């Protein structure tokens, strides 16, 4: 991987902000969030484990213990296209005046935490000998399956991924961002529409499409396949208020000419202007 420059880090920060704010993520979560009626989150005695996806395309778990002061955190990279699986980190969280938290061993980033609902943060990892700030977003891990109705829906998304498949475990083409709609059916299938509306292609046509199947792994992770190959792992925040958040850890996809990354989406719905007011935090 090329040595990151300040502009690269700024792009990561900006795109995470877009993925959280432009999609209305914090607006949806602000209505209450939390698990759906058919799911049980992995939370015990103030400790919550979040299934998370990093911007470089790695799948990780991030655990926070709110029962101690200062709060503690730990993470483990579970899957990686950069050979980072098994890497761990831990420390304490210092609360800032604006309500965000600074992790003791990753002080260049902030953690935005909505207890038992959503986490957005960052961690410094070594990628090919270069220290890289990996921003991530996650939702609580589950001990039960999602219901099909919790998974199904049409989501507006933005993704951030390596522009081409990795070359010698490096992203040589740089990272790019795309947007569109992503539709999951209760039957276990999905369709994606780049730069358009999959439900109204006559008005907003798709620049490209893809489709495949999804399978619930039963631990808060959903395997997403296309053409028989696994292209990502999805994590979902179902919400009793009707809002849903989906996060997909995108794998290196040589067959599709695309590299690893992250996709963040929220259920498509009308949002009134008065619902957009408020204070937003970003990494």
Give the dihedral of Cα atoms 218, 224, 228, 230; nearest 10 deg: -90
| pLDDT above 70 for 45 | no
**Who has greater pLDDT, 34 or 126?**
126
pLDDT (0 to 100) of residue 240: 58
pLDDT (0 to 100) of residue 238: 82
CA distances from 19 to 13, 75, 214 (A): 10, 22, 22
17 CB-contact burial (10 Å; exposed 0-12 / middle 13-18 / buried 19+): middle
pLDDT (0 to 100) of residue 29: 36
Span 169-194, average pLDDT = 94
Residues 73-94: tens digit of each pLDDT: 999 999 999 999 999 999 999 9
pLDDT (0 to 100) of residue 28: 34
pLDDT band at 15 (very low <50, low <70, confident <90, very high): very low
Cα 171 to chain centroid distance, Å, stands at: 19
- Domains in the chain (CATH in brackets) are 6-140 (2.40.160), 148-267 (2.40.128.10)
Residues 112-142: tens digit of each pLDDT: 998 778 899 989 898 888 888 888 999 999 8
pTM, full prediction? 0.83
Cα–Cα distance between 174 and 187 in angstroms, integer? Answer: 36
CA distances from 33 to 24, 142, 162, 250 (A): 13, 15, 30, 24
Span 212-231, average pLDDT = 94
Phi, psi of 254 (to 5 degrees): -55, -35
């Amino acid at each position: 991987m090329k040595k990151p420059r300040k502009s690269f880090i700024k792009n990561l920060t900006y795109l995470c902000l877009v993925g959280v704010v432009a999609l209305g993520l914090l607006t949806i979560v602000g209505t209450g969030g939390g698990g759906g009626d058919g799911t049980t989150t992995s939370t015990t005695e103030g400790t919550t484990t979040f299934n998370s996806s990093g911007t470089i395309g790695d799948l990780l778990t991030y655990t926070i213990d709110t029962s101690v002061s200062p709060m503690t955190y730990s993470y483990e990279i579970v899957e990686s296209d950069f050979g980072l699986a098994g890497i761990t980190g831990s420390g304490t969280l210092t609360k800032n005046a604006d309500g965000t938290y600074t992790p003791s061993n990753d002080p260049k980033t902030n953690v935005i935490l909505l207890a038992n609902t959503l986490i957005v943060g960052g961690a410094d990892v070594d990628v090919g000998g270069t220290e890289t700030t990996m921003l991530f977003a996650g939702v609580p891990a589950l001990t039960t399956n999602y219901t099909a109705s919790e998974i199904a829906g049409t989501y507006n998304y933005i993704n951030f991924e390596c522009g081409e498949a990795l070359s010698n475990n490096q992203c040589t083409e740089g990272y790019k961002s795309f947007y569109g709609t992503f539709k999951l059916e209760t039957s276990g299938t999905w369709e994606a529409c780049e730069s358009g509306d999959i439900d109204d292609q006559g008005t907003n046509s798709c620049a490209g499409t893809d489709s495949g199947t999804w399978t619930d792994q039963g631990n808060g992770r959903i395997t997403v396949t296309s053409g028989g190959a696994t292209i990502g792992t999805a994590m979902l925040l179902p919400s009793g208020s009707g809002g849903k958040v989906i996060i997909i850890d995108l794998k290196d996809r040589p067959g599709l000419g695309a590299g690893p990354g992250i996709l963040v989406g929220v259920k498509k719905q009308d949002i009134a202007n008065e619902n957009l007011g408020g204070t937003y935090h970003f990494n």
